[in-house]
């Protein structure tokens, strides 16, 4: 615990109550599950180690698919009054050349589904504030994303959950998931300030304690994330963005991907990829040599000021394919269950779409019927695959191309950018994948290999016969980048 004073109402949860649901973690996913179930009349206990303002450098840009999910859950007003900044698409910069990728048209996707009993009184629509306008999010013909300071957004979600009378909040450290002699989960043991270790019982326990989950291995001992790279981040202030209201992906032959997007009117988040879980010993020196020369001219003044200040944060980039929830009384969800590379900003979208699907399947059930609930959770494990596979595999494949470290990958990187430059469907379809609104793995496969063949075509045009003979190794590389992850996501 932090040693800070804890509000009394966060310490008084009654261990004599059997809750319908016990939720471990109040990050992005936990409050959404708690609120949805509470609105359906369920008694919910949500446990969080620390309810004060969290500091993170990822989870700050939500794709349109995530925005749509929050609308379905009646929690989209969590964006309001936190200086959140609208996002209308991406700009990809490759060796100084730019191509814009606007978000897709709403007409190309199904209407946002309003979950009955969860959406009410207009809570599926944003409110007007200094940066967010109803006409942009509700009436514009294109989808919108949103960027924000992570902690401010999270505190808004927590305010929403605190207003639900069927939710009991508890501050404490969950130290054990409780199981009976049949290996069925019946609650959790929590270490609470001033009270010690207390067991709370519930019909269904949700584990959503994020990327560093302590309890994901309850599903299987080998359910552990892999970390092969990192992001090193900085805050830029009063930056002159090359394309306002766009996320930016800066690529080149001689550097790893650099990402930046505006998270408030004054602040821009800049993330620099680093191809190792172990950070460089001299981060400032590495940034000066490997990042600074490739920052667009407009961003250099704010970048140089931030570099001189030397305030860096880092985050490991983890990968973890989902496995089925097969234990009675347990549901692992969010980043505790499933992780992908954060390059494409798809984590919150997958997690929130999981919540929407799960609520459709179980929120009206009697949680006392634990076997029926487990059956629906098993169905959920398979129905979630289409959108999860697309978003997860896209993140891994794009990172491999954008962080190209072999001649073949560099050809694919260039071919990908040239493919975007064609415009039309060559931008529109990838934009739908990126936005999280086209859950079709076979279409993703077709587009990825269309990019690979186009990269070979461009290379043959430039290299002639040499390029023709290189085509085979380029296609083999594309196959190795894409298909193992597709298989792992589809059949894990």
Strands 85-87 and 145-147: antiparallel
> pLDDT > 90: what percent of the chain?
96
Residue 32 · residue 352 · CB < 8 Å: yes
Domain 226-319 = CATH 1.10.10? no
Kindly report the backbone phi and psi dihedral angles of residue 225, in degrees, each rounded to the nearest multiple of 5, phi listed first: -80, 155
Q: What is the pLDDT of residue 4?
A: 72
Does the pLDDT at position 1 exceed 60?
no
- pLDDT for res 3: 54
Which CATH number is 8-85+112-223+321-384 given? 3.50.50.60
Q: Examine the pLDDT at 490 and tell me if it is beyond 70.
A: yes
DSSP 251-281: EETTEEEEEEEESSSSEEEEEEEESSSSPPS
Decide if 232 contacts 342 (C-beta within 8 A): no
Determine the Cα–Cα distance for residues 417 and 398; give it in Å rounded to an integer: 11
Q: What is the pLDDT of residues 217-270, one digit of tens each?
A: 999 999 999 999 999 999 999 999 999 999 999 999 999 999 999 999 999 999
pLDDT at 103: 98
Helix 465-491 vs helix 385-402: crossing angle, to nearest 10? 140
Q: Given the structure tokens 């001299």, which residue do they identify? A: 282
Does 207 have pLDDT greater than 80?
yes
pLDDT digits (tens, 9 = 90+) for 278-311: 999 999 999 999 999 999 999 999 999 999 999 9
pLDDT-based confidence at residue 206 (cuts at 50, 70, 90) = very high
- Average pLDDT in the chain: 96
Sheet strands side by side (includes 145-147): 61-62, 145-147, 85-87
Strand (E) or helix (H) holding 185: strand 185-192
CA dihedral 470, 472, 474, 478 (to 10 degrees): 180
132/102 Cα distance (integer angstroms): 18
Q: What is the pLDDT of residue 177?
A: 98
Give the tens place of pLDDT for each residue, 97-118: 999 999 999 999 999 999 999 9
> What pLDDT, in 10s, does the model give residues 46-75?
999 999 998 877 789 999 999 999 999 999
CB atoms within 10 A of CB 165: 6
pLDDT digits (tens, 9 = 90+) for 423-467: 999 999 999 999 999 999 999 999 999 999 999 999 999 999 999
Instruction: Tell me the average pLDDT across 475-488.
Output: 96
**Phi-psi map region of 210: left, alpha, beta (phi>0 left; psi -120 to 50 alpha):** left
* Whole-number pLDDT of residue 55: 80
**Residue-level pLDDT at 189:** 98
Cα separation values, 42 from 116, 207, 368, 478, Å: 15, 17, 11, 48
């Amino acid at each position: 615990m932090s040693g800070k004073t804890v509000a009394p109402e966060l310490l008084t949860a009654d261990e004599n109550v059997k809750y319908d649901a016990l939720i471990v973690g109040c990050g992005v996913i936990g409050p959404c599950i708690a609120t949805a179930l509470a609105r359906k009349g369920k008694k919910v206990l949500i446990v969080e180690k620390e309810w004060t303002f969290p500091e993170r450098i990822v989870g700050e840009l939500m794709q349109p698919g995530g925005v749509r999910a929050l609308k379905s859950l009646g929690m989209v007003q969590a964006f309001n009054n936190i200086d959140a900044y609208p996002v209308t698409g991406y700009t990809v910069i490759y060796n100084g050349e730019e191509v814009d990728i606007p978000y897709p048209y709403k007409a190309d996707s199904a209407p946002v589904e309003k979950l009955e009993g969860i959406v009410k009184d207009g809570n599926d629509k944003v409110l007007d504030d200094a940066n967010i306008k109803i006409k942009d999010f509700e009436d514009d013909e294109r989808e919108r994303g949103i960027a924000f300071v992570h902690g401010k957004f999270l505190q808004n979600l927590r305010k929403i959950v605190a207003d639900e009378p069927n939710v009991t909040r508890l501050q404490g450290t969950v130290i054990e998931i409780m199981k009976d002699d049949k290996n069925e989960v019946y609650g959790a043991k929590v270490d609470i300030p001033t009270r010690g270790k207390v067991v709370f019982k519930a019909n269904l326990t949700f584990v959503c304690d994020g990327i560093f989950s302590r309890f994901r291995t309850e599903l299987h001992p080998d359910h552990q994330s892999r970390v092969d790279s990192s992001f090193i981040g900085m805050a830029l202030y009063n930056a002159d963005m090359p394309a306002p209201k766009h996320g930016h992906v800066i690529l080149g032959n001689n550097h790893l991907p650099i990402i930046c997007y505006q998270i408030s009117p004054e602040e821009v988040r800049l993330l620099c990829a680093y191809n190792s879980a172990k950070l460089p010993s001299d981060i400032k020196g590495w940034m000066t040599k490997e990042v600074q020369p490739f920052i667009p001219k407009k961003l250099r003044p704010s970048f140089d000021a931030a570099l001189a200040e030397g305030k860096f944060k880092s985050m490991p980039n983890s990968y973890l394919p989902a496995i089925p929830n097969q234990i009675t009384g347990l549901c692992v969800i969010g980043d505790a269950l499933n992780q992908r590379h954060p390059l494409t900003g798809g984590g919150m979208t997958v997690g929130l779409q999981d919540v929407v699907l799960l609520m459709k399947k179980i929120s009206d059930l009697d949680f006392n019927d634990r076997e029926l609930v487990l059956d629906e959770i098993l169905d959920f494990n398979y129905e979630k695959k289409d959108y999860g596979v697309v978003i997860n595999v896209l993140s891994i494949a794009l990172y491999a191309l954008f962080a190209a470290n072999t001649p073949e990958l560099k050809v694919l990187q260039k071919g990908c950018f040239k493919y975007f430059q064609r415009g039309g469907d060559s931008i529109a379809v990838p934009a739908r994948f990126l936005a999280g609104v086209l859950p079709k793995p076979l279409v993703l496969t077709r587009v990825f290999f269309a990019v690979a063949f186009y990269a070979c075509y461009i290379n043959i045009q430039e290299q002639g016969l040499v390029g023709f003979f290189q085509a085979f190794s380029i296609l083999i590389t594309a196959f190795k980048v894409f298909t193992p992850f597709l298989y792992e996501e589809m059949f894990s």
